[in-house]
Structure 1
């Protein structure tokens, strides 16, 4: 789905998080970053994925990773999602889809025989120099941390 490949520079982005703070790729310069794109806050798959990453947050942090969740939900919806599950990382409210489109994760999807445009659940692992080191497009929502972190 995405046009990006391992070894590419991550797209520079800037968007508001659930609290209205501007978050940019440059904020993570010198740090490893996991950017996960999910279709909709508070839905079962997205909740499982976000909670799995949150449950492993200390492990990510100890290995030098920051985490950033992104969907096209409103800041209010992202804020409710974060507060309900006490996520330790920011959620971008990418309502204009600028970050989603920069990473190439918006496109046609099928669900129950219907075709529509939406976010393809995809995770990008980015190194300290903003280079993409991994792209996970077949996300296991309940065991996503294991797909990202070395055993």
Structure 2
């Protein structure tokens, strides 16, 4: 009897999360769409808006957690390639659901020269379909959006290899120039 109850509970949980996934996937962003706007604070409390980056390319990357191996590798690759990216007319901005204090420590530890924005409620990540919401736990997916100077999505990266991603964006920007 208990096994049967557990089975039904498991089915209900899977159905619930399956429905949530299905309902969220109906508004998937596509290349050419307007980039969803955002208003988020960086590690120093300065507010950033999507409109701040109008007229230039923006590499907007979402990442799961400060100071974890994959996120550190990705951030350091962007740091090391920032000069090349800026030479191609692009700014880099990272977003996760971590708080500003965590971002400040992460940026300081790895000398990250670009803004890390705090999306604690996951609203921006949700707008970009880059949020895993397990109810009580929210985590940003490792997605990147290359936004063109007109504010449109130029390229969407859903399968990110952290050790090659920055170079992949440099290659794509070079082709666009």
TM-score, scaled to structure 1:
0.91
Residue 146 in structure 1 maps to residue 162 in structure 2: no
> Which residue of the partner structure matches residue 6 of structure 2?
none
> Which residue of the partner structure matches residue 71 of structure 1?
96
Per-residue Cα deviation, 1:88-136 (whole angstroms, up to 9, x for no partner)? 1000011111211111111368xxxxxx753211000000000001011
Structure with bigger RCO (C-alpha 8 Å, 6+ apart)? 1
1:135–1:106 CA distance, 2 compared to 1 (3 A): same
Q: CA deviation at 1:144?
A: 1.1
Structure 1: any 5+ residue segments left out of the alignment?
110-115
Per-residue Cα deviation, 1:40-74 (whole angstroms, up to 9, x for no partner)? 00000000001011110000000000000000001
Structure 1 segments of 4+ aligned residues over 3 angstroms from their partners: none
**Over aligned residue pairs, what C-alpha RMSD do you find?**
1.6
Larger helix fraction of residues: 2
- Determine which structure has more spread, i.e. the larger CA radius of gyration: 2
> Which residue of the partner structure matches residue 137 of structure 1?
158
Distance 2:129 2:73 in 1: 23
Match runs of 1:51-130 below 5 Å: 51-107=76-132, 118-130=139-151
Larger strand fraction of residues: 1
Matched residue pairs, number? 145
Q: CA deviation at 1:28?
A: 0.5
For the residue of structure 1 that corresponds to 2:155, the secondary structure is strand
Distance 1:108 1:98 in 2: 11
TM-score, scaled to structure 2:
0.78
Residue 14 in structure 1 maps to residue 35 in structure 2: no
> Which residue of the partner structure matches residue 19 of structure 2?
none
